[in-house]
Amino acid sequence: MTTKFRAALLSRTAALFLAAAGLALTASLPAEAAVRAAVGRPLQEAQSLAASGNYSAAMSKVHQAEGVGGLSPEESHVIEQMRAYIESKSNATSGSGKLANDYRAGRWGAVIEDANSMKGLGANDMAAVATAYYKLHEDSQCLNYIDEHFGHGGGAVILEIKRACAYSAGNDKAQTEALEELVAITNKPEYWQQLLNSAERAKALSDHQTLDIYRMKLGTGTLRNESDWMTLSKLAIALGFPSEALDVLQKGVQAKVLTGDVVNRL
């Protein structure tokens, strides 16, 4: 159970409990009641104050309830529930809680303002800020923010945001850097394919360089179709690697990409 879920559960439980306590109080509680009037009334006032957004006054009422002597275990429990309720409400309208709410609502400018007003940001908060810059089409700021706050340690999510910002900004260098880092940390075939396709589009590649790219495609499982397999085989033959060419053809047949007729025509 997450901290946020526990806080939300506590706040809902506190509200229900205090609503029931309020009914009992108005009926003039007997002495053996679980929550005495001296404790229950300030807690009810705290609930109303928190609901209206006056969290400091609400917490003062909690302290008032705490100051009642001889608290029973039940009274202490209800006081802690009310404290959790107030803290949950307060966090949702300030700091990281407000930033998260603004992010979910798509208030991108507010997300950035929230971050600027906070003393410390977690990784999720910083990812939200980077996304906000991207959504606002402030792509250069997005790239600068990621470089300054994450460097090379942001993980796949941040690198995907960096790629998106770099693409929008037309920054090929940053796109390639992000893709290289994604390949390094995930080794996923789709990232390899994109990186190698990008390398293949480079100008003035020699035949040897093209052969090396296709060798890497074979090694990473990103040869896409019959044309790719045949290109690799033909390059290997042309550059003096007949055994390698034969091995490629055999693997292509085994992968059910090449047929015997295609191989015979080579």
pLDDT truncated to tens, each residue of the chain (266 aa)?
A: 444 433 343 343 344 344 444 434 433 344 445 789 999 999 999 898 888 878 778 888 989 998 988 888 888 888 988 888 777 666 655 566 788 888 989 999 999 998 998 877 888 889 999 999 999 999 999 999 999 999 877 889 999 999 999 999 999 999 999 999 999 999 999 999 999 988 888 888 899 999 999 999 999 999 989 999 999 999 999 999 999 999 999 999 998 998 866 666 65
- What is the chain's alpha carbon radius of gyration, rounded to the nearest angstrom? 32
Question: For residues 164 and 16, what is the distance between their CA atoms, to the nearest angstrom?
Answer: 46
Q: Is the dihedral of CA 184, 190, 194, 197 positive or negative?
A: positive
| Helices assigned H by DSSP within the chain | 3-26, 37-51, 55-66, 73-91, 95-104, 108-117, 123-135, 139-149, 155-169, 172-186, 189-200, 207-219, 226-238, 242-254, 260-265
- DSSP state letter for 150: T
